[in-house]
Chain A
Amino acid sequence: MTIRISARRRTLAVAASGAALALSLTACADTGDGDGGTGDGGDDAAGFEIDCAPYEEFGDLDGTTVTVYTTIVDPEGATQQASYDPFEACTGVTIEYEASREMEAQLPVRVQAGNPPDIAILPQPGLLNTLVTQYDAVLPAPPQVEANVDEGWHESWKGYGTVDGTFYAAPLGSNVKSFVWYSPAAFEEGGYEVPETWDDLLALTQQIVDDTGGEIKPWCAGVESGDATGWPATDWIEDVVLRTAGVDVYDQWYKHEIPFNDPQIVEAFDAAGEILKNPDYVNGGLGGVDSIATTPWTDAGYPILDGNCYLHRAANFYQTQWPEGTTVAEDGDVFAFYLPAETTDEKPTLVAGEFIGAFNDRPEVQAFQTYLSSADWANAKAAATPNGGWVSANYGLDPELLATDFDKASAAVLADPATVARFDGSDLMPSEVGAGTFWAGMTEWFARDLSSQEVADQIENSWP
């Protein structure tokens, strides 16, 4: 059989097959810059002046480009980009900003595909660890960055950016997680005082239950967060481990020098459970104990606003989660106090932060890395964040530049010599645990009312 089609049809067929091919190919083409955008806000940073001298040693960088890949989407993305303006003005480097919520899953894919960004803002050290040990992809920090970090940060922060003795990633911002949000007005109305010790906190909880005749559950919590569901509960446990078992045990625990199901850790689970799994104490305005598993963490504090809940433990960045029009101040709608420890002498504090990983050592990349690790950047970022919700543990940060009283309070906690800061343990554990079974285990702890021992055993068994 021979192929006999008319000339006209042949041309058409040729054109059609070509077009189909082309379409399938262009569909795969990278569309570029995600949802970064050049949002408004943060104009203040344009006027922020920095010393350009540190970047001269990198040579003439005018006209070069550095790509940044991050999870920080708008609205915070806008202030993040605005904080780069002084550097761009100094050096003439263009920063291409790409933000995606899927960055944590996509970055390893891009690294493997040989298409990494120049700089990635890593939301947790666990990802740095994975990138270094599994893919050998991150470049060690240049000496200028190391000098900046030695000067501006506590050595523990440098440690979180270090893998196997090599320093890779400078810290960027810092979060303070040991806060309890409350409504100052509701406290005043009930005659309640901000508790100073863990026992005070439990007493206050019981008092609220008694005063309202059990109608109101004092605490509200929620751990739903898409495929990261469970992480807010790991923070709870870490905070309680710091308080009941102490800092030393905490260090041994996340390094797995003691098993995950060590009796002291199970005790901490139970201590947290005294609040979180007590049907009289939770879940204010959100349901029973099991509703903690299904409530989005972003909404979990809202019942405070309509009086269905009194206490919500969440990090300083929860400040930006409150609905628009909520005043965050000591005499406003909501404010937060430090989650108390067993005594007033100690101030263990759970912190976390982002880190800067570099995949390229072109001079403009190293210059930008140096800028991001400097106190200048921290101050530029503070100036570019007019609505607050951002702090840094950098010593060079001028607290006066921070936008809100609450941010200043957070910075004060970070700077307080009595504060013993410990990094979020789940971020430091191997990702199978820290971003896997620990999250899942906590979710089951609420959803199926598994015992603390069962959950701890399960997580211990999954440790690689």
Chain B
Amino acid sequence: MDWFIDAGDDPAHKFLLMLVAIALFVVVMGLILFLVDRPRNAPRWLVSLGFVGPALAMLAFGLLYPGLDTIKNSFYNRNGSEFIGLDNYATAFTESQFLIVLGNTALWVLVAPITATFLGLVYAVVVDKSRFEKFAKALVFLPMAISMVGASIIWKFVYEFKPAQGTVQQTGLLNQVIVWFGGEPIQFLLQRPLNNFLLMVVLIWIQTGFAMTLLSASIRAIPDDIVEAARLDGLSGFGMFWRITIPSIRPALVVVLTTIAMTTLKSFDIVRTMTAGRFNTSIVANEFYEQSFRQNNTGLGAALAVLLFVIVIPVIVYNVRQMRLAEEVR
């Protein structure tokens, strides 16, 4: 039995164990589906249950149960021993520390998705059918391949500050540029509220590529006859962009905007890596980790997580609706 529980340090053993686990599940799942399909004229509910049941069970266990538990915890005190009603929410909505967090989150959701989508759209239109299209697209798409933490570290170096003092040399790109132009180096991450936008730059840098790719594809999908007809009617340049391109790709635009908005709400990694939420840069996603795991205040952490969940819901609903609409059009 030990062989199945503890692989120790042996990589071969670990891989073998993984394969055994995979095989085990293939067998179990196969068996369930096989048995469900076995009887002639099996009732439909049985077949559906066989197919959907395992997935539903895992969703219930892995998503629904923790979700409900979090909601329950948000009404309890810091270690979940005492019911305190809405106190945690009251704290989140009244204390200045958390009001800053909520304000920052709102700022992120408003600025980051719109900027990333706008830049991606403009870029997609500009490079469309140009000679360097592939290369230009790859350039913008590359940051997508970098993890959020990696990107944050890169940008932290860009903003790095060294004083103009004694023999000290600049190591941050931005400050070096400033020094070349004869300026004084700036503590970028301390300049509030500018520092919030500097953090958003990281997300925008990553997400622009995503927006560009999807939008570029849907621009390509605009039927030529529409474009031809518009051209015959005398549209060109900005008019074409505004009256033909934008309305045609509207569903894709909305999907891109809402998808980035969801990523923005979850962008815990950037804040944690770059400032750890200091200097008034914390957002809900970072603060709920800070409260739950640093301060061991499970109640308040759960309340913030629920808050995040509530904020995300309308975005998801809208996103799903638009995707359906887009599919129907097709």
Is A53's beta carbon under 8 Å from chain B? Answer: no
Contact assessment for B295 and A432 in the assembled complex, using a CB-CB cutoff below 8 Å = yes
Contact assessment for A431 and B26 in the assembled complex, using a CB-CB cutoff below 8 Å = no
Tell me which residues from 413 to 438 in chain A have a Cβ below 8 Å from any Cβ of chain B.
431-432, 435-436
Is A134's beta carbon under 8 Å from chain B? Answer: yes
Range class of the B interface residue count: 35 or more
A-binding segment of B112-120, B140-148, B165-173? B165-173
Smallest Cβ distance from A130 to chain B, in angstroms? 5
Is B236's beta carbon under 8 Å from chain A? Answer: no
- Which listed residue (A19, A108, A227, A308) contacts B296, Cβ 8 A? A108
- Which listed residue (B22, B187, B297) contacts A287, Cβ 8 A? B187
Is A293's beta carbon under 8 Å from chain B? Answer: yes
Contact residues in B for A303 (Cβ distance below 8 Å): 168
A-binding segment of B209-217, B240-248, B274-282, B311-319? B274-282
Contact residues in A for B168 (Cβ distance below 8 Å): 285-286, 303, 308
Q: How far is the CA of A150 from the CA of B54 in the complex (A)?
A: 57
Contact assessment for B276 and A32 in the assembled complex, using a CB-CB cutoff below 8 Å = no
Is A165's beta carbon under 8 Å from chain B? Answer: no
Contact assessment for A440 and B278 in the assembled complex, using a CB-CB cutoff below 8 Å = yes
Q: How far is the CA of A88 from the CA of B290 in the complex (A)?
A: 38
Is A385's beta carbon under 8 Å from chain B? Answer: no
Contact assessment for A25 and B272 in the assembled complex, using a CB-CB cutoff below 8 Å = no
Tell me which residues from 23 to 59 in chain B have a Cβ below 8 Å from any Cβ of chain A.
23-30, 33-34, 37, 44, 47, 51, 54-55, 58
- Which listed residue (B28, B277, B295) contacts A18, Cβ 8 A? B28
Q: How far is the CA of A85 from the CA of B324 in the complex (A)?
A: 64
Q: How far is the CA of A13 from the CA of B9 in the complex (A)?
A: 35
Smallest Cβ distance from B95 to chain A, in angstroms? 9
Contact assessment for A286 and B163 in the assembled complex, using a CB-CB cutoff below 8 Å = yes
Q: How far is the CA of A431 from the CA of B296 in the complex (A)?
A: 8
Is A3's beta carbon under 8 Å from chain B? Answer: yes
Tell me which residues from 271 to 329 in chain A have a Cβ below 8 Å from any Cβ of chain B.
283-288, 290-291, 293-294, 303, 306-308
Is B190's beta carbon under 8 Å from chain A? Answer: yes
Contact assessment for A293 and B279 in the assembled complex, using a CB-CB cutoff below 8 Å = yes
**A16-55 to B contact mask, C-beta < 8 Å, 1/0:** 0111011111100101110000000000000000000000
Contact assessment for B29 and A14 in the assembled complex, using a CB-CB cutoff below 8 Å = yes
Contact assessment for A17 and B166 in the assembled complex, using a CB-CB cutoff below 8 Å = no
Known: A25-B25, A135-B79, A227-B294. A288 touches B163 (CB 8 A): yes
- Which listed residue (A18, A287, A291, A443) contacts B278, Cβ 8 A? A443
Is A105's beta carbon under 8 Å from chain B? Answer: yes
Is B93's beta carbon under 8 Å from chain A? Answer: no
**A207-223 to B contact mask, C-beta < 8 Å, 1/0:** 00000000111000000
Is B107's beta carbon under 8 Å from chain A? Answer: no
Contact residues in B for A226 (Cβ distance below 8 Å): 272, 276
Contact assessment for B161 and A291 in the assembled complex, using a CB-CB cutoff below 8 Å = yes
Contact assessment for B25 and A22 in the assembled complex, using a CB-CB cutoff below 8 Å = yes
Smallest Cβ distance from B62 to chain A, in angstroms? 8
Contact assessment for A105 and B78 in the assembled complex, using a CB-CB cutoff below 8 Å = no
- Which listed residue (B9, B166, B297) contacts A215, Cβ 8 A? B166
List the A residue with the shortest CB-CB distance to B41: A2
Contact residues in A for B9 (Cβ distance below 8 Å): 32-33
Per CB-CB distance, the 6 closest pairs between chain A and chain B, nearest first, are A18-B29, A22-B25, A18-B26, A287-B163, A105-B293, A22-B22
Question: Can you pick out 8 interface pairs between chain A and chain B where the beta carbons lie within 8 Å of each other?
Answer: A2-B44, A21-B29, A105-B293, A226-B272, A226-B276, A285-B166, A294-B190, A432-B295
Knowing that A17-B51, A108-B293 touch, tell me 17 more A-B residue pairs with CB under 8 angstroms. A17-B55, A21-B54, A22-B26, A23-B22, A26-B18, A29-B21, A32-B7, A32-B9, A104-B294, A217-B165, A226-B272, A227-B276, A230-B278, A287-B187, A293-B279, A294-B161, A306-B167
